[in-house]
Amino acid sequence: MRLMGNRFEISVVGNDTVWAHSCIDAAAAEINRVEKLLSTLSDDSQVTEINRNAGVKPVKVSAEVFRLIERALAISELTHGAFDITYHADVAQNESTPGKLTNYTHVVLEAEKTTVFLQEEGMRIGFGAISKGYAADRAKYVLQLTGVSSGVVNAGGDLLTWGLQPDHQPWTIGAADPHQGNQPYSDIRISNMAVATSGNFDKNAALNDRMTNIDTRKGFPVSVLKSVSVVSPTAELSDAMATPVMSMGVNAGLYLINKLQQLACFIIDDHDRIYTSKEINYLT
């Protein structure tokens, strides 16, 4: 199904086909809700209201939107700004101060009032980098509420799994061998985890359909690495971390991932060399 501009595939393990389809319909409805919640195109969305009042006043938002922004800013801090949900509205008008307008440190949160304030006029926030992952997490949550004990959400190539396969084996993915096209070089266990891939090459749609990544700190395409896949407990976190690791390079990216609990990654550089973090769980 086509949702949020991406192809979502939702699979559930169960014996009742009618029940399974009703569960999938509920998950699709939740993905549509998230799309409307985080839209920057709708005049009445909370994100649009935040952007409309940049440099003017704080905007009260729902606890859900507030926590999402709070988590995004935490990842910006962790990655020293390599991940950043802020951007400037008009490059032509703001050429003299693009760094000032694309700067997560100029987003002010007031927890007690659940307000968000963009300090500079012309600043904007957008959730393109994590909205797909967050929607997948919410779809999983809804499916589990309906009693689905095992399943997979494929959000445009980013995978979120829980439980076990029908044969009671862990969910796994085959990491492609860079020297042999789509041939896998290993299987990676991802049961109860999520994996997101960011890359600088045209990938098969089953892996990812994201366009070439841009280093938000430098403004040009990243060319050192060919792809980065991040495994974490949530699709939102995997989505958020994949692109920053891309921009950091092998050493800094692995150093960051290795410092964090419950995160792992595998990296392919532009010479087709493969690197893995210390916690990666793969079978050669």
Query: Which CATH number goes with the domain that contains 150?
Result: 3.10.520.10
Give the separation between CA 109 and CA 11, rounded to whole angstroms.
37
Is the domain of 170 the same as that of 114? no
**Burial zone of 271 (CB within 10 Å; 0-12 exposed, 13-18 middle, 19+ buried):** exposed
Domain boundary among the residues 125, 156, 189 is at 125
- 69 with 150, same domain? no
Torsion, Cα 132 134 140 144, to 10 degrees, reads -160
Count other C-beta atoms under 10 Å from residue 205's C-beta. Answer: 11
Q: How far apart are CA 266 and CA 241, in angstroms?
A: 12
Q: Is residue 22 part of a domain?
A: no
- Cα–Cα distances (Å) from 197 to 189, 241, 248, 277, in that order, read 15, 10, 15, 15
Q: Take residue 257 and report the two structure tokens written for it.
A: 């991932």
Any domain includes 12 = no
Strand ranges (E), the chain: 2-3, 6-12, 59-60, 86-88, 107-110, 115-118, 123-125, 151-155, 158-162, 172-176, 184-189, 194-199, 225-232, 264-269, 274-276, 282-283
Q: Are residues 139 and 117 in the same domain?
A: no
Query: What is the reported pLDDT for 180?
Result: 55
Do the domain assignments include residue 39? no
* Same domain, yes or no: 173 and 148: yes
Look at residue 182 in the predicted model and tell me its pLDDT.
Answer: 57
Same domain assignment for residues 146 and 184 = yes
Does residue 66 sit in the same domain as residue 135?
no
- Contact status, residue 31 vs residue 8, Cβ threshold 8 Å: yes
Q: Please give the pLDDT value at position 176.
A: 55
Q: What domain range is 108 assigned to?
A: 46-78+86-125
- Last-in-domain residue among 125, 152, 181: 125
Distance CA 198, CA 188 (A): 17
Is 9 a member of any domain? Answer: no
> What does the block give as tokens for 196?
């997101």
Query: What's the pLDDT score for residue 241?
Result: 96
Same domain? For 156 and 235 the reply is yes
The verdict on residue 199 lying in a domain is yes
- Please give the tally of structural domains in the chain: 2
The answer to whether position 269 is within a domain reads yes
Residue 243, both tokens:
């692109």
Contacts with 136 (C-beta within 8 Å, 6 or more apart), sequence order: 8, 31, 153, 155, 158, 160, 194, 235, 236
Within a domain: 161: yes
Same-domain check for residues 108 and 161: no
**Full pLDDT tens readout for the chain, 284 residues:** 888 888 999 999 999 999 999 999 999 999 999 999 999 989 999 999 999 999 999 999 999 999 999 999 999 999 999 999 999 876 444 444 556 788 999 999 999 999 999 999 999 999 988 999 999 999 999 999 999 999 999 998 899 999 999 998 888 876 555 555 555 555 677 789 999 998 875 433 333 333 334 444 444 444 468 889 999 999 999 999 998 999 898 999 999 999 999 999 989 988 888 899 987 755 44
Q: Are residues 138 and 272 in the same domain?
A: yes
Are 138 and 119 found together in one domain?
no
User: Do residue 225 and residue 277 come from a single domain?
Assistant: yes
- What is the rounded CA–CA span in Å between residue 197 and residue 250? 15
Asked whether residue 271 is domain-assigned, the answer is yes
Same domain, 139 and 205: yes
Element (H, E) at 258: helix 250-259
Residues 6+ apart with CB under 8 A from 96: none
- Give the pLDDT confidence score for residue 284 in this predicted structure: 42
Distance of CA 232 to the CA centre of its chain: 11
Q: What is the model's pLDDT at position 4? A: 83
Instruction: State the pLDDT at residue 231.
Output: 93
- DSSP conformational letter for 83: S
Q: How high is the pLDDT of residue 274?
A: 87
**Count of other CB atoms within 10 angstroms of residue 19:** 14
Q: Which residues, including other chains, have CB under 8 Å from residue 193's CB and lie 6 or more apart?
A: 160, 161, 231, 232, 233
Q: What tokens were used for 231?
A: 């495994």
Q: Residues 6 or more apart from 142 whose CB is under 8 A from it?
A: 26, 27, 29, 30
